[in-house]
Amino acid sequence: MTGMKRAVGIDIGGTKTAIGAVDVSGRIVARTSFPTEAGAGFDLALRRILEGIDRTLCEAGWSRRDLAGIGVGCPGPVNPTLGTIHNPYTLPTWNNCDIVSPLRAALGMPVFLENDADAALLGETFAGSARGCGKVVMITFGTGIGTAVLVNGRIYRGCRGEHPEMGHIPVEEGGPDCYCGRRGCFEAVASGEAIGAAGRAANLADSRAVFAAAAQGNTAARQVIDRALRATAIAAWTILHTFLPERIVLGGGIAEAHYELFAAPFRESVAAATMVPQSHITITRAQLGNDAGLVGAAALVFSDRSDRSV
């Protein structure tokens, strides 16, 4: 039975869609990608995905009947139970689109859907820096701040199946407005977008320019980064005393480029937090980079670790 050892992972993004043939060790054997062009309609995207699956299988030297199933990761809101995507923000026109049923019908195999942040966490747990861990929080520092939580080996879901939004932990009284309805959220201070916005007030073009200027001693830039790191320390303390994970994985472009900077407030929080089992908590860098979502989508197939109860 090779079938139980091979899967296809699909990572749908606002810009591009990546498809990979993934083996049970988490290795991507072959891959393809193409522009998502959500605005061109969901039906076209479905056709491209089916073509992409066949192209990837061909390149891998696998056939459809080798596959245990298909896993899909997609920017939320998605409903893993119903198999639907409803993300008018980054996938315009995809309103309550069922991606699971048509793929299942076309391919005759199990199809799983997961939020992209949760898929990335599953990837890191399956074949990356949190392998073998049961209780994991992953924080993705990118344009925004994404969070995902694994509890006893399964994706954590709250009320109505929604997943934690720890980018909205309040960290600063009277801080910048946040789209969530509050001010001074973690994301509103420490995300790439927030750092970029604060930098523009000091004539720095974007978050990359802020980090570069701070490294060269620019005071205004340093203040922006220090503020983001203070926010990170507060979020770290909160995460330690709420989910109490054994492992905290830092991913996303900003954490990748400035890992030591962002790991420090986490490490310092663990060292100072007397109420938690400090010596059993590890901070790590995400290992799979941009492939985490692809591998995690495939991992959905190998072991269904997505808690679907709502």
Where does this chain bind a second copy (CB under 8 A)?
Answer: 134-135, 151-152, 156-160, 162-173, 179-182, 234, 237-239, 241-246, 272-277, 280-281, 307, 309
As a whole number of angstroms, the distance between CA 267 and CA 236 comes to 9
**Toward a second copy, which CB reaches closer, 17 or 191?**
191
Residue 299 CB, nearest approach to a second copy (Å)? 20
Q: Are 94 and 86 in contact (CB under 8 A)?
A: yes
Residue 156 CB, nearest approach to a second copy (Å)? 7
As a whole number of angstroms, the distance between CA 183 and CA 176 comes to 5
**Toward a second copy, which CB reaches closer, 48 or 168?**
168
As a whole number of angstroms, the distance between CA 291 and CA 289 comes to 5
Residue 228 CB, nearest approach to a second copy (Å)? 15
**Toward a second copy, which CB reaches closer, 222 or 230?**
230
Cα–chain center distance at 212: 25
Residue 88 CB, nearest approach to a second copy (Å)? 14
**172: burial class by Cβ within 10 Å (0-12, 13-18, 19+)?**
middle
Residue 248 CB, nearest approach to a second copy (Å)? 10
Q: What are the distances in angstroms from CA 143 to CA 103, 123, 306?
A: 31, 20, 25
Per-residue tokens: 305: 């670790």
**Toward a second copy, which CB reaches closer, 173 or 216?**
173
As a whole number of angstroms, the distance between CA 248 and CA 127 comes to 15
**Toward a second copy, which CB reaches closer, 31 or 168?**
168
Per-residue tokens: 104: 């299942």
